[in-house]
Structure 1
Amino acid sequence: MRLLRIFTAKPPRAWVLAILFCFVCGGAFAQRRGWWRNRDISEDRRGVPKWDVKEGFPGDLFTFARIRYESWGGRGGGGGWATDYPDSDLNFSLRLQQLTSLKVNPDPVVIELTDPKLFDYPFIYIIEPGSLVFNDDEVAALRRYCLNGGFLMVDDFWGDSQYENMRHELKRVFPDRDPFEVPLEHEIFHNVYQMKEKPQVPAINAARRGFNGEVGSYERSRDGSDTSVAHYRAITDDKGRIMVFICHNTDLGDGWEREGEDQWYFEEFSVKKAYPMGINIVTYAMTH
């Protein structure tokens, strides 16, 4: 089984190392499907073990926080806030705990933008925003959250109409800012894992393997627009820090959720693309 290896373009600063840096050991990236069978694990964790958390430091843990939102089917199609939940959140939290020096909460949370506890979480995640609609209170809360140092990752939506819906909603949040395509040279693609391309992760049932060994995606948009190229766009603050990172025409969450279901998908998409990119994104969010 191929394992993730770490490459850095240049030695990281000491303070970055102190906060978060990856290591990979022998079997760290074994599929969960095999090694957890004989463990006493509650069913509600979907086979993911619960690790010990050091007492007295609950506020020092990274917690994966998923945003619950309203989804109106007439606004561009798409699924809802709970897509891939809870498996992707649990699996990704486990891999962060295993593969980084970051101390991770074994219990991801679901939170609304208007919850006063939102500011307890420096990283939040929105999935399938093709028909997402913010209310006015959520618009104000998200603007305040991002401008005060928070980081939003948006994932898993395909085609022009779904992107336009997300762009429209973000324009309500930031009327004076527009998303831009993030170049591959940006540090978010290289701060831990060296991404040689902008990774495209299809859903497991849309993953393609050609006779020549090439891999790709059969994903199609509902509006018939082109989905062959993954786009990673960002909205930044006045200092150039990424506040919103938009992963379009790709589904990193499925790479996390489905890692134990198919060996080929796991090796080609979870190990090579979904987890490295996810770890890079979290590393950026927690060090900027």
Structure 2
Amino acid sequence: MIARTPSRKLVLGLAVLAMLLSGVAAAQRGWWRDGISSERNGVPDWEVDEDFKGDLFTFVRIRYESYGGRGRGRGGGGWRTDYRDSDLNFSLRLQQLTTLKVNPEPKVLELTDEELFDYPFIYIIEPGSLMFNEAEVAALRRYCLNGGFLMVDDFWGDSQYDNLRQELQRVFPDRTPQEVPLSHEIFHCVYDLKEKPQVPAINAARRGYDGSIGTWEQTWDGSDNSIPHYRAIYDDEDRIMVFICHNTDLGDGWEREGEDQWYFEEFSVKKAYPMGINIVTYAMTH
């Protein structure tokens, strides 16, 4: 179980770590196999207790192939977005800033992989044009109804949400995503968030002369993306089993933490990491 950690510790801890990581001049070269990279891009490794290798939290990203998308034509395949720095950085921060023991090596799996059920947390990114095949629909339904937790991240606008909603309707015909109120424990279980955080991609982050911050993110359908939405699908015990982060990009807050000091302080420290840690805490304790 992750212990509660004061927000001040997160801010100070990440600031120190950012200065250390800023000394890394170039990414380490790695190799690719089946679309999966081995490089760590300067993210430090850590030792794992051999007696507890089976008790580690592992960040699992889902690889998918989309053969089309409603309103988008053929395409998709956005599973690699923010990969692999996002997964590595988030795993590192979980290891450093919580009492959770974390696998330094994130994994990439498909929903139909037999080992999926070995991991209680999975992550899907950019589902705006995602289309599950029938085997994936059945596998995801079985995974979630047997205690697994799916986090969905980084998609914007009404059309992309409608696409995801229709795909999830195939997975759970009798369940509908519900807006999660700010009072829900997932926003407070470790870090006491005062608002639902919105994290723009680094190249869309906006700051005004009056000190305001926001996003320049545009949607191709012209819909309003100024308000972040956090929706959930619940099981019969009122446990969140699918958590949908819409009109926000937590993954970019993890991936791009070392590229811009202002973005790091405003979005990585204050929003992306606290929300991510809260989500994992909830998933691992429910």
Whether 2:5 is the aligned partner of 1:20: answer: no
Match of residue 50, structure 1, among 38, 45, 48: 45
TM alignment of 1:30-69, pairs within 5 A: 30=15, 34-36=19-21, 37=23, 42-43=28-29, 44-69=39-64
Task: Show the counterpart of 1:94.
Answer: 92
Compare 66-75 and 42-51 and name the one that shifted more.
66-75
Compare 244-253 and 34-43 and name the one that shifted more.
34-43
Label 1:283 to 1:45 Cα distance change in 2 as closer, same or farther (>3 A): same
Q: In the alignment, is the contact (CA less than 8 A) between 1:67 and 1:125 conserved in 2? A: yes
Label 1:48 to 1:156 Cα distance change in 2 as closer, same or farther (>3 A): same
SS across alignment from 1:45: coil
Q: In the alignment, is the contact (CA less than 8 A) between 2:26 and 2:41 conserved in 1? A: no
Label 1:39 to 1:208 Cα distance change in 2 as closer, same or farther (>3 A): closer
Amino acid at match of 1:233: R
Within 2, Cα distance between the matches of 1:192 and 1:116? 32
Amino acid at match of 2:55: D
SS across alignment from 1:28: helix
Task: Show the counterpart of 1:29.
Answer: 14
Q: Normalising by the residue count of structure 1, what TM-score does the alignment of the two structures yield?
A: 0.90
**Deviation of the 1:28 alpha carbon:** 2.1
Residues 242-276 of structure 1, C-alpha deviations (whole Å, 9 max, x = no match): 00000000000000000000000000000000000
Within 2, Cα distance between the matches of 1:216 and 1:256? 17
**Deviation of the 1:26 alpha carbon:** 8.7
Task: Show the counterpart of 1:84.
Answer: 82
RMSD over aligned Cα, in angstroms? 1.9
Amino acid at match of 1:86: R
Question: Where does the alignment leave 5 or more consecutive residues of structure 1 unmatched?
Answer: 1-18
Q: How many residues align?
A: 270
Within 1, Cα distance between the matches of 2:52 and 2:196? 36
SS across alignment from 1:70: coil
SS across alignment from 2:230: strand
Compare 26-35 and 251-260 and name the one that shifted more.
26-35
Q: In the alignment, is the contact (CA less than 8 A) between 2:257 and 2:263 conserved in 1? A: yes
Whether 2:231 is the aligned partner of 1:233: answer: yes
Question: Where does the alignment leave 5 or more consecutive residues of structure 2 unmatched?
Answer: 30-38
Whether 2:103 is the aligned partner of 1:118: answer: no
